[in-house]
Amino acid sequence: MSSALRIESFLEMMSAERGSSDNTLAAYRRDLEDAQGVLAARGGLAKAAPADIAFYLEDLSLRGFASTTQARHLSALCQFYRFLYSEGLRGDDPTATIDAPRKARNLPKTMGESLVDRLLARAEAEASEAGLSDAERALRVRMQAIVELFYATGLRVSELVQLPVTVAARNDRFFAVTGKGGKDRLVPLSPVAREAVKAWAALRNADPQWADSRFLFPARSKEGYLARQVVARDLKALGTRAGIRAADLSPHVLRHAFASHLLQNGADLRAVQQLLGHADISTTQIYTHVLEKTLSDLVANHHPLAD
C-alpha cells in the first residue's frame, strides 16, 4: 500500500471512529502530505525510519516553523504510525524514540473588561442606528448577535457559525452545543445575548431565502452557514470602529476573554473547563495567569499574617 493510500486510510479512521471534524482532518492531511513530500526521496512515509522523522523535523526547523508547529506535525505523525502499527501495516513506530520539540507556553491573548464593554456598546449602537437600509440593518443586527454570543458563551467560531436556528426559539439560560470530537456540552446564554439573538432571528426568519435553512447564521455557501473568515473579518472591522486594533481582536480572543473574566470574578477552573469544552484541565490552566493579582490581593487582605 502506497503512502498516499495509507494517509487516506488513516483519515477515514479518524473520521469514522474518532469523529474528527473537517478542520481537524484537513490539518492532518496537510501535515502528513507535507511530510510525504519532504521524505519522498528517502522512501516516503510508508518506509520512514526514526532517522527520517528526525530529518523531517529538522527540515521544519530550517523552514522557520515554530516549535509549536513542529510539535503538531510530530503529533500527526505519531498518530499516523500508531494507526499503521495497530492495523498491521507496519511492525514498528518510527516516532517512538523521537523527542517532541520543546514548546514555549504562550499565554492566550485576551481583552480587558472595559474593551469588551466598548466593543459590545459599539455593536449595540450600530444595530439600533436610524436610517439604515434593510440589508445594512440585518448585517449590523447579525453582528451584534455574534459578538454577544461569543462573549456570553465562549464558543469556538466553528461552533458558533453552525448553531441551529432553534437556539433563538428557546428561553433557557443554557443550550447544548456540539464541540470537538462530537462532544455535547451546555453553554450559558445571558439575557442580553438572548435578546440580541432573537432580534437577529426575527430578521433572518423574515427573509424567504433562509426559510429552508436550519442554521442560525445561514449563508449561500457549500456548507450552508456563515464562513468563519467572514465572522473574523466583520469582527475586526467592528473592533476598528470601536477603537480596538484589528491585531488585538479575533473570535478566539473573545473566547479567551470569556474564560479570563469568569476566573477573575471567582469562577471555578473546572467549571470554566466544562464551559469551554476542554477535554483536559491542563488546557484550561493556561488561564490561571489572570488569577495572579486576584490571589495576591486575597492573601494580602485576608491572611492573618499578611501585615
Is the pLDDT reported for residue 290 higher than 80? no
- Bridge partners of 187, per DSSP, are 175
Mean pLDDT, the chain, as a whole number? 88
Which range, of 104-108, 179-183, 221-225, averages the lowest pLDDT? 104-108
Q: What is the pLDDT of residues 52-67, one digit of tens each?
A: 999 999 999 889 888 8
Cα–Cα distance measured from residue 100 to residue 42, given in angstroms and rounded to the nearest whole number: 22
Q: Which one-letter amino acid corresponds to residue 239?
A: G
Residues involved in catalysis:
156, 180, 252, 255, 278, 287
Cα–Cα distance measured from residue 155 to residue 215, given in angstroms and rounded to the nearest whole number: 16
pLDDT given for residue 223 in this prediction = 93
Share of the chain above pLDDT 70, in %: 89
Would you call 107 helix, strand, or coil by DSSP?
coil
Is the pLDDT reported for residue 215 higher than 60? yes
Q: What is the mean pLDDT of residues 230-243?
A: 96
DSSP state of 247: G
Q: Which one-letter amino acid corresponds to residue 67?
A: S
DSSP 145-191: HHHHHHHHH---HHHHHT-BGGGGG---SEEEEE-GGG-EEEEE--H
Please write down the long-range contacts of 15-22, taking CB distance under 8 Å and 24 or more positions apart.
18/181, 19/181, 19/182, 20/181, 21/158, 21/180, 21/181
Q: What is the mean pLDDT of residues 110-127?
A: 94
- Bridge partners of 176, per DSSP, are 186
Is the pLDDT reported for residue 281 higher than 70? no
Would you call 215 helix, strand, or coil by DSSP?
strand
Q: What is the mean pLDDT of residues 191-201?
A: 95
Q: What is the pLDDT of residues 145-182, one digit of tens each?
A: 999 999 999 999 999 999 999 999 888 888 888 887 77
Is the pLDDT reported for residue 236 higher than 90? yes
User: 216, 163 in Cβ contact below 8 A?
Assistant: yes
Q: What is the mean pLDDT of residues 29-50?
A: 92
pLDDT given for residue 103 in this prediction = 60
Helix, strand, coil proportions of the chain in percent (round to 5)? 65, 5, 30
